[in-house]
C-alpha cells in the first residue's frame, strides 16, 4: 500500500458543490486507519483551504498557492514561504492592463479583487470560503504596495482566450516566476520554482517518505508537476486534457467520489 496520497481540492477532492462527499471521507478514514497519510495540495490560500484540510488530516502539512506556502500545523512551522516581489506584482499588473484582462492577488487570508467581481464572489464568502476585499481598478493597482502585502499568488482572468494567451506569452517570456492554469479562463503566477511537484517532494522529505510511496490526484494544468512527481499520478474524469496526457491513469469524475475510487483501486493493502 502506498503511504501518502496527495489530493487537489477544487475539481478533485471536492464535488461541484464544493463539499467532500461522505464516500470520499469514509474511504480516507479507512486508508488512514491502515496507516495511510492524506495531504491536501491546492492553489487556494490558507484561509480557503484550511477547513477542508482539517476535515481530512489536520496534523499533516498543508500545501497552498500551488506550493508557495506550506504549513506544518503539528509543529506550527512554515516549511515554505515564497512571495512575488513588489516589482513583479507591478509588472504583472502592467501586463494585465496592456492585454485588457482582469486580475486579483492574494495573501494568506484574503483575495484582493476588482469591484466588478463582487457579484461573482459574494456567494463564496464566509464560512469555508475566501475572505474578499474589493477595490476600484485604480485602488487595486496600488493597494498591495501601500499596504505592504506579501503576495504568494497573482491571477489573471478573462473569458477572452486570445487575450489571456497573449498575456501568458508575455509573462512567460520573462524569467523569475512560475505560471500555471488552474481553471478555464485564468492563469496563476507564483514565484520562480513554485509548483505542486516541488511541494510534494518537500512534504515527502519532511515526513521521511519516499516519492515511490506516493499517489497524487488532480484535475488541472497546475497539478501536472505533482502528477509527474508522484509514483502514481491519477487524473480525475473531469480533468483537463493536458493533465490526462501526463497521468498514469484516469479515474471517475470529482462528482463521483473520485478520491474514494482511487483509494479503493490503488491504496489496498498489499
Name all domains of the chain by residue range, CATH numbers in brackets: 4-81+194-266 (3.40.50.1000), 86-191 (3.30.1240.10)
Do residues 219 and 239 make contact, with C-beta atoms less than 8 angstroms apart?
yes
71, three cell numbers: 504549513
Do residues 252 and 266 make contact, with C-beta atoms less than 8 angstroms apart?
no
3-state secondary structure of 197: helix
**Residue 125 banded pLDDT, cuts 50, 70, 90:** low
Q: What is the pLDDT of residue 126?
A: 55
Q: Tell me the average pLDDT of the chain.
A: 94
135, three cell numbers: 477595490
Q: Is the pTM of this model over 0.75?
A: yes
Tens digits of per-residue pLDDT, 130-150? 789 999 999 999 999 999 999
Q: How far apart are CA 179 and CA 172, in angstroms?
A: 7
How much of the chain, in percent, has pLDDT values that exceed 90? 89
Tens digits of per-residue pLDDT, 221-244? 999 999 999 999 999 999 999 999
3-state secondary structure of 9: helix
Please list, in sequence order, all residues whose beta carbon lies within 8 angstroms of the beta carbon of residue 148, skipping any fewer than 6 positions away.
Answer: none
H/E run at residue 90:
helix 86-98
Does the pLDDT value for residue 250 go beyond 90?
Answer: yes
Q: What is the pLDDT of residue 256?
A: 98
3-state secondary structure of 227: helix
Highest-confidence segment of 59-63, 121-125, 174-178: 59-63
**Residue 182 banded pLDDT, cuts 50, 70, 90:** confident
H/E run at residue 259:
helix 258-266
Tens digits of per-residue pLDDT, 146-173? 999 999 999 999 999 999 999 999 999 9
Does the pLDDT value for residue 127 go beyond 60?
Answer: no
| Nearest-5° Cα angle at 248, 247 to 254 | 60
Does the pLDDT value for residue 70 go beyond 60?
Answer: yes
Taking residues 90-100, what's their average pLDDT? 97
Taking residues 239-255, what's their average pLDDT? 97
Q: What is the pLDDT of residue 240?
A: 96
Q: How far apart are CA 190 and CA 201, in angstroms?
A: 18
Do residues 214 and 207 make contact, with C-beta atoms less than 8 angstroms apart?
no
Do residues 46 and 62 make contact, with C-beta atoms less than 8 angstroms apart?
yes
Tens digits of per-residue pLDDT, 12-53? 999 999 999 999 999 999 999 999 999 999 999 999 999 999
Amino acid at each position: 500500500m502506498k503511504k501518502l496520497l496527495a489530493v487537489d481540492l477544487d475539481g478533485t477532492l471536492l464535488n461541484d458543490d464544493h463539499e467532500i462527499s461522505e464516500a470520499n471521507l469514509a474511504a480516507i478514514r479507512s486508508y488512514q486507519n491502515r496507516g495511510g497519510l492524506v495531504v491536501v495540495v491546492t492553489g487556494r490560500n490558507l484561509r480557503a483551504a484550511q477547513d477542508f484540510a482539517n476535515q481530512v488530516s489536520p496534523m499533516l502539512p498543508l500545501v497552498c498557492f500551488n506550493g508557495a506556502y506550506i504549513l506544518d500545523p503539528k509543529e506550527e512551522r512554515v516549511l515554505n514561504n515564497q512571495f512575488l516581489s513588489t516589482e513583479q506584482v507591478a509588472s504583472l499588473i502592467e501586463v494585465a492592463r496592456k492585454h485588457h484582462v482582469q486580475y486579483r492577488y492574494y495573501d494568506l487570508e484574503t483575495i484582493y479583487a476588482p469591484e466588478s467581481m463582487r457579484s461573482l464572489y459574494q456567494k463564496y464568502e464566509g464560512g469555508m470560503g475566501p475572505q474578499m476585499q474589493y477595490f476600484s481598478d485604480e485602488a487595486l493597482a496600488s493597494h498591495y504596495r501601500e499596504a505592504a502585502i506579501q503576495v504568494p499568488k497573482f491571477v489573471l482572468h478573462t473569458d477572452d482566450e486570445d487575450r489571456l494567451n497573449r498575456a501568458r506569452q508575455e509573462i512567460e517570456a520573462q524569467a523569475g516566476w512560475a505560471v500555471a492554469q488552474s481553471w478555464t479562463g485564468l492563469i496563476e503566477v507564483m514565484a520562480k520554482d513554485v509548483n505542486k511537484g516541488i511541494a510534494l517532494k518537500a512534504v515527502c522529505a519532511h515526513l521521511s517518505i519516499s516519492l515511490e510511496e506516493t499517489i497524487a490526484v488532480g484535475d488541472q494544468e497546475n497539478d501536472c508537476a505533482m502528477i509527474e512527481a508522484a509514483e502514481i499520478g491519477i487524473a480525475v474524469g473531469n480533468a483537463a486534457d493536458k493533465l490526462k496526457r501526463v497521468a498514469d491513469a484516469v479515474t471517475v469524475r470529482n462528482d463521483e467520489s473520485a478520491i474514494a475510487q482511487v483509494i479503493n483501486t490503488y491504496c489496498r493493502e498489499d
